[in-house]
């Protein structure tokens, strides 16, 4: 009974931690990690698979909030813009990777500017986010692209 009371007190006063892990779905779907040292700054890292391109991709971004809304005591909504990079490896458009000695897939490198918003729930350690990500592919050739992602992270 004492343990139940301690857990109830802890969950009633729970604040989301500044490290989060979860899933993202979009142009690239996979694992999403985030670190938010304060309400104005954040870093996010993603690793996933782009089914349209048949590529494994990784990304890292620094995010700066341009506004933080507090519509209630239990919800905080940072709106942000960021800068980062995206690295992808073409795995053959859904085919198995090339065997040793065969021509391998391309590696793509892009600069990206995520623009989005998060819903930070203050009583439960959950973040829901959505973002639009304009990018400029630099390697192997120059190309402008726009991606989108939605996801969630559990903070601890």
Q: How many domains does the chain have?
A: 1
Taking the CA atoms of residue 140, residue 141, residue 146 and residue 147 in that order, the dihedral angle to the nearest 10 degrees is -10
- How many Å apart are CA 87 and CA 85, to the nearest integer? 7
| Ordered per-residue pLDDT tens for the chain, 156 residues | 433 333 343 444 445 679 999 999 998 899 999 999 988 999 999 999 988 888 999 999 999 999 999 999 899 999 999 999 999 998 865 444 444 444 557 899 999 999 999 999 988 999 999 999 999 999 988 999 999 999 999 999
Q: Provide the CATH number for the domain around residue 80.
A: 2.40.160.20
Contact 24, 133 (CB under 8 A): no
| pLDDT tens, position by position, 27-67 | 889 999 999 998 899 999 999 998 888 899 999 999 999 99
Range of the domain at 71: 2-155
């Amino acid at each position: 009974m004492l343990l139940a009371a301690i857990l109830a007190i802890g969950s009633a006063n729970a604040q989301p931690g500044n490290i989060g892990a979860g899933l993202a779905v979009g142009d690239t779907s996979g694992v999403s990690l985030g670190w938010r040292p304060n309400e104005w700054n954040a870093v996010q890292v993603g690793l996933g698979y782009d089914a349209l391109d048949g590529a494994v991709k990784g990304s890292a971004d620094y995010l700066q909030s341009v506004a933080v809304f507090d519509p209630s005591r239990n919800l905080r909504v940072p709106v942000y813009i960021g800068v980062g990079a995206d690295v992808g490896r073409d795995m053959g458009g859904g085919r198995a990777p090339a065997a040793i000695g065969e021509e391998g897939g391309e590696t793509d490198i892009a600069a990206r500017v995520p623009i989005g918003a998060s819903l930070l729930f203050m009583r439960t350690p959950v973040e829901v986010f959505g973002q639009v990500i304009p990018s400029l592919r630099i390697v192997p050739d120059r190309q402008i692209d726009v991606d989108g992602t939605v996801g969630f992270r559990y903070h601890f």
